[in-house]
Amino acid sequence: MKFFSRVRKPFVFAALILTLALSSAFVPLSAGGSSLTTSCLTRYSKEILYYSDATYTNQVGTGVIYCNGRSTLTGTSTQYREETILDVCCGCVPC
């Protein structure tokens, strides 16, 4: 009986380690980590003009989203905006 109790502990430990190793191999990188391709999912580089109200007469900010996922904002952003496509993206660079 003591033989089985000594063998069972290492076997259970090895099975646990194997299960953890296999399960971590199938976790997608984008679920918790970062990837180079996640910032390059933009289809267009675009300029966004922000206005103070629904009349679209007083511009209060300007934003640009580039193909590599980087963005800039000058002024303030609001819910009243006009987007203009500047370029079509091929991956992380303009086509």
| pLDDT interval class at 95 (50, 70, 90) | confident
Question: What confidence tens digit (pLDDT) does each residue in 52-89 have?
Answer: 999 999 999 999 999 888 999 999 999 999 999 998 98
Asked whether residue 23 is assigned to any structural domain, the reply reads no
Asked whether residue 50 is assigned to any structural domain, the reply reads yes
Distances (CA, A) of 18 to 10, 15, 26, 55, 78: 12, 5, 13, 62, 51
d(CA 35, CA 64): 22
Asked whether residue 58 is assigned to any structural domain, the reply reads yes
Expressed as residue numbers, the domain containing 72 is 40-88
Please report the beta strands in 1-95, taking only residues with DSSP state E, as ranges in sequence order.
44-51, 59-65, 71-75, 80-90, 93-94
Asked whether residue 17 is assigned to any structural domain, the reply reads no
Tell me how many domains the chain contains. 1
Asked whether residue 35 is assigned to any structural domain, the reply reads no
Asked whether residue 7 is assigned to any structural domain, the reply reads no
Asked whether residue 95 is assigned to any structural domain, the reply reads no
Report the predicted TM-score, pTM, of the whole model to 2 decimal places: 0.56
Asked whether residue 8 is assigned to any structural domain, the reply reads no
For CA atoms 8, 14, 15, 17, give the dihedral sign.
positive
| pLDDT interval class at 43 (50, 70, 90) | confident
d(CA 83, CA 71): 14
